[in-house]
Chains A and B, each alone.
Chain A
Amino acid sequence: RKEVEQDPGPFNVPEGATVAFNCTYSNSASQSFFWYRQDCRKEPKLLMSVYSSGNEDGRFTAQLNRASQYISLLIRDSKLSDSATYLCVVKNAGKSTFGDGTTLTVKP
């Protein structure tokens, strides 16, 4: 079983839709959690950290459930520019483990 698992998608949604991604992790000792975004043929970039209490950044909301060992990302009012691959990242000590990513395509 992989340390970090994501539904690969692809998710194809119309503009304005709400879409949610989940990610599960196997190491209960994991300390910190992030969502990164990767555009085609580009490097991953931090989208947002995920805090225990949940956090929101504009149209993006991240949640952490330690008991069930999963994190989620909710995107509201999706834009064409949100089309990308979203990578879940779980960190323990200095080491980050990336999920394989969920691909989102937002269509007009």
Chain B
Amino acid sequence: DAGVIQSPRHEVTEMGQEVTLRCKPISGHNSLFWYRQTMMRGLELLIYFNNNVPIDDSGMPEDRFSAKMPNASFSTLKIQPSEPRDSAVYFCASSSSGSMWTDTQYFGPGTRLTVL
């Protein structure tokens, strides 16, 4: 079975440009998470969806960030406009909510974003 798929794996862009990160969760999983990881701040949860519905977006840093999940097999995280401080590795993870309390999250390989 394919794991969580993210694209692109690497993105280098200039400040002010729009960036779109994509994620395909594991088939059958109904929870999807977007994380950001930096040396300074560690791994931070940005937003998570359950059954395609955003449940908690309190981690989204500001209005420049938006996330969508139009169907069970696809999600996007968009940054517009991008800034150098957005440079980080962005991970998508999915889980099957057999139990909301104990289910394991499976991470994608991440997108390494560099904003110049």
A binds B: yes
Q: A residues bordering B, Cβ < 8 Å?
A: 31-32, 34, 42-46, 49, 87, 91, 93-101
Which residue on A lies nearest to B33, using beta carbons?
Answer: A96
Name the prevailing secondary structure of the A interface residues. strand
A/B pair count, beta carbons within 8 Å: 48
Known: A44-B43, A101-B43. 14 other contacts (CB 8 A): A32-B101, A32-B102, A42-B109, A43-B91, A44-B107, A87-B43, A93-B100, A94-B50, A94-B56, A94-B100, A95-B56, A98-B44, A99-B42, A100-B42
B55 contacts the other chain (CB 8 A)? yes
Interface size class of B (residues with CB under 8 A): 20 to 34
A31 touching B43 in the complex, CB below 8 Å, given contacts A44-B107, A94-B31, A95-B56: no
Name the prevailing secondary structure of the B interface residues. strand
Q: B residues bordering A, Cβ < 8 Å?
A: 31, 33, 35, 42-45, 48, 50, 55-56, 91, 97, 100-102, 104-110
CB-CB < 8 A to B48: which residues of A? 94-95
